Amino acid sequence: MTQRPAAGAAEDGDSPSTVEAYQSAILSAITPLAPARLELAAAEGCVLAEDVTATVALPSFDNSSMDGYAVHASDVARAVQQAPAMLPVAGEIAAGDVGAYRLAPGTAIKIMTGARLPAEADAVVPVEWTDGGTGQVAVYRAAEPGNAVRYAGGDAAEGETLLSAGARMRPMQIAVAASAGRKAVMVRPRPRVVVLSTGDELTEPGTPLVPGRIWDSNSYMIAACAREAGAVAFRHSVVPDDPAGVLPALEEQLSRADLLITTGGVSMGGEHDVVKAALRELGTVTFRKVAMQPGMPQGFGVIGPDKTPIFTLPGNPVSAYVSFQVFVRPAIAALQGADDLSLPAVQATLTGPVRSPAGRRSFLRGVLDGSEVTPLSGQQSHQVASLGRANALIVVPERETQLPAGHPADVLVLP
């Protein structure tokens, strides 16, 4: 068993941390955001901080599940095509009609889907089983008691827990809350994330490239990752490799950030590693190696008066992407108190061989298709083209240096 280090216990000279130990250290340093009461439209993507219960039975009244005729089942019990039951139609009840109706024996009342069942009726004959008559209806088939009736409480009983704290308010959960009559819910809001790329080589996309420069992709990518993970993300313009500029740029963002993410400037290269240089002196951010590929150099800690968490991701785009999914995504979920911390994982059969460095967990770009996963060519961490073709990350455990085609592998499904 690996010992779980406290956040910030080790520095990058030490032996690499395992992926799990690093994840745990991060999560133990995250405090969920304070809950707020938000109207349903604003609560989408937020995470419930309360249980939502049914204050009334759902539905709250017996009603018809079809357009047809409310009847006494006994009145149509012998109805067949050749000898239909003939019933006078005593009226019509549309959905939303709040009148109090009673069904006299030997009669039918025309009824619409969702309309309240008249008192004493015990079945609905679908219009398709009749001649659709208005003054009188011919019923060609018997209906059992309860046929096409939706009983009060058939969806949920009064007092039943419909949604539990920790659930994310996706469209399905919004539907449930609204169906239970809730206008607003207590949720933890979407974390506000500021993303900032560093590097003298970075050029804004849309502007011409000169040799020696590349277009900045990380800040757009990581901001998009953060939004997809449930955050509100702001992208900062590129920050040059000037150690004196990095800290002020970060501090300026603190008032609008629940989480900061930088990319670049944390490798082992010395004076150009400006993020490391700027943050190390604070003493609240730890830089260390994690036994994985890509994404070995990592930094995490807190910054500013509110101890805002900060991730310093490596600069290579695929390293930054994988680091986000493995470490930042769970942290964003934890800020929301969510129960969906990690990417969904499945097992699939490799269609081709894969390689991995000894002692490090590899996350390889792949294409998952049903029960098979195909490793993509171009697995270096700057090769963003293959990232664009991937829908999954193949996980090769630390103990393996290669896996042959036909071997099963754990696969993370990319959102």
Per CB under 6 A, residues contacting ligand AMP are: 197, 199, 201-202, 214, 216-219, 263-267, 314-317, 382
- CB 233 to Mg ion: min, Å: 21
Q: In what order do the strands lie in the sheet with 36-39?
A: 36-39, 184-188, 47-48
Q: For CA atoms 262, 264, 267, 271, give the dihedral sign.
A: negative
Among 118, 189, 264, 330, binds Mg ion (CB under 5 A): 264
Per the document, the length of the chain is: 415
**49/250 with CB nearer Mg ion:** 250
Give the burial string for 15-47 (b: 16+ CB within 10 Å, else e).
ebbbbebbbbbbeebbeebebeebebebbbbbb
Total chain residues near Mg ion (CB under 5 A): 4
**147/381 with CB nearer ligand AMP:** 381
- CB 11 to Mg ion: min, Å: 20
Among 199, 295, 301, 375, binds Mg ion (CB under 5 A): 199
- CB 264 to Mg ion: min, Å: 4
- CB 204 to Mg ion: min, Å: 16
**148/326 with CB nearer ligand AMP:** 326
Q: Is 314 in the site for Mg ion (CB under 5 A)?
A: no
- CB 257 to ligand AMP: min, Å: 18
- CB 199 to Mg ion: min, Å: 4
Give the burial string for 106-138 (b: 16+ CB within 10 Å, else e).
ebbbbbbeebbbbeebbbbbbbebbeebeeebb
The site partner of 379 among ligand AMP, Mg ion, none (C-beta below 5 to 8 Å per kind) is none
The site partner of 201 among Mg ion, ligand AMP, none (C-beta below 5 to 8 Å per kind) is ligand AMP
User: DSSP string spanning 363-377?
Assistant: EEEEEEETTEEEEPS
Secondary element (H or E) of residue 247: helix 243-253
Say how far apart CA 273 and CA 268 lie, in whole Å. Answer: 7
Binding region for Mg ion (CB under 5 A):
199, 264-265, 315
